[in-house]
Every structure is written in structure tokens, then in C-alpha cells.
Amino acid sequence: MANHLQLGFQDASSPIMEELVEFHDHALMVVLAICSLVLYLLTLMLTEKLTSNTVDAQEIELIWTILPAIVLILLALPSLQILYMMDEINEPDLTLKAIGHQWYWTYEYTDFKDLTFDSYMTPTTDLPLGHFRLLEVDHRVVIPMESPIRIIVTASDVLHSWTVPSLGVKTDAIPGRLNQTSITTTRPGIFYGQCSEICGANHSYMPIVVESTPLTHFDSWSSLLS
């Protein structure tokens, strides 16, 4: 959950988000090194009298050609690795289908017979004390922790996007098309998200709440609803 004046990411709660945060820090260090080098060279050019002739300096031309290529490789390799990890789905324990509507979500647990419900934002007038305004819903998505979950995302009317930042997931919901992603929560907790695709007048009023619980609690919850 983000807080006021927060400059970084939310606490990672899935292996994919942990990898994304590490790559973000890695890329920032590369950018910091480049900016420091450029600032040093600019300061040197403004304060020192350059007497060397660099018109035919093949060595420096070779260096400033090879160095950017090395930097791009250092950024591309971990980026491609994370990209393939995000698309990889290995034998999920549970499949969840999320359907976007204007302006609420419908969830179907396809491994159960009759486990389907709509999730609407809780109005401010009905909000319990201590809950978050514009982020709480009447029915949360409950998933077992430390279990691979496949999520199939689609929409019934316009474009939506199923997004939970702390889990590192953002999947577009497109009418007539099924997109899939996977998540694995590493700890119990409640994770908040919102639709991240402008979908109409009430776009900001269709939040997403994912509750990660131990497997025994999930079994009790599912037996009550199904």
C-alpha cells in the first residue's frame, strides 16, 4: 500500500515484483554512472585548457563506441530475463478469471463449480472505520499464498486493465480476447490495485483488492461461498 510522499515502489509481495525492483535499482545505478561521467567531462572542458588533438584519435572513438554497447547489453539481458519470467506459467494450482465491466469486476474461480461474484467499490458512506477510501471493495479476491495462480483477464464492454502494483501484475482486459498472467504471493496480506486503463466516467471507481491467506483459510473461505 502506497503512502504519502512515497518516492519508491510499494513493498514487493511476489517474486516477479522483487525482480522488477532489483532491475529498477540496477538501471538507476547505470544511469547514475553515466550522468556522473558526463558531468565530470563537462566540468573538465569548462575549467581546463585542452591542448591535445583529438581529430585523429582512433582510441577514444573506439572507446565511446564500445562503452554504450556494453551499457545496453547490461540493461537488455536482465530486462529480457524478467520479460520471459513474466510470461511463464508453470502448472498453476488455481485459475482465476477477471472480467472487467463499466465499472466493476467479475471474478470466476474456474476450478470450483459455482464460485463467481461481482466486486464493487465500497461507497464512502458505507466504508468501515480504518478502511481505505476509493480502494476498498465489497468482495475481495482471496487466493492462497505461496501458490502459483493463473489469472485470465478479459472485458465485456471497453478496455480495462487489471493492475496490482505490489504483486507486479498489470494485464489489459480487452473485449473478445483472453490475456493471461500469473502471480505467486510470498506473504499473507491485503494488496490494493486499480483499473489502469481509462475506461469511462467512473474509471477511478473500480478498485481491485487481493487478499492472500494460508491455504487452510482459503479452503474455509471457498467452502462457504461454493
The amino acid that residue 185 corresponds to is T
26-55 pLDDT tens trace: 999 999 999 998 899 888 888 877 655 555
Q: Give, in degrees to the nearest 5, the angle at Cα 89 between 83 and 95.
A: 130
Distances (CA, A) of 121 to 4, 25, 96, 106: 22, 34, 19, 12
- Residue 97: its pLDDT value, please? 95
What is the predicted pLDDT for the residue at 77?
92
Residues near 184 by beta carbon (within 8 Å), at least 6 away in sequence: 14, 15, 16, 146, 147, 148, 149
* pLDDT tens per residue across span 154-183: 999 899 999 999 999 999 999 999 999 999
- The helix/strand/coil state of 50 is coil
| Among 28-32, 97-101, 187-191, 197-201, the least confident range | 197-201
Between the alpha carbon of residue 132 and those of residues 15, 41, 123, 191, 198, the distances in Å are: 26, 50, 11, 12, 22
Find out whether 203 and 160 touch, Cβ atoms under 8 Å. no
Name which of 166, 121, 171 is nearest 150 in CA terms.
171
CA dist 31 and 222 (Å) reads 48
Give the pLDDT of residue 49.
72
Going by the DSSP 8-state scheme, the letter that residue 94 receives in this structure is: E
**pTM (2 decimals)?**
0.83
Specify the amino acid at residue 50: L
Question: Chain-wide mean pLDDT for the chain?
Answer: 88
pLDDT exceeds cutoff 70 at 56? no
Q: Quick one: pLDDT at residue 53? A: 57
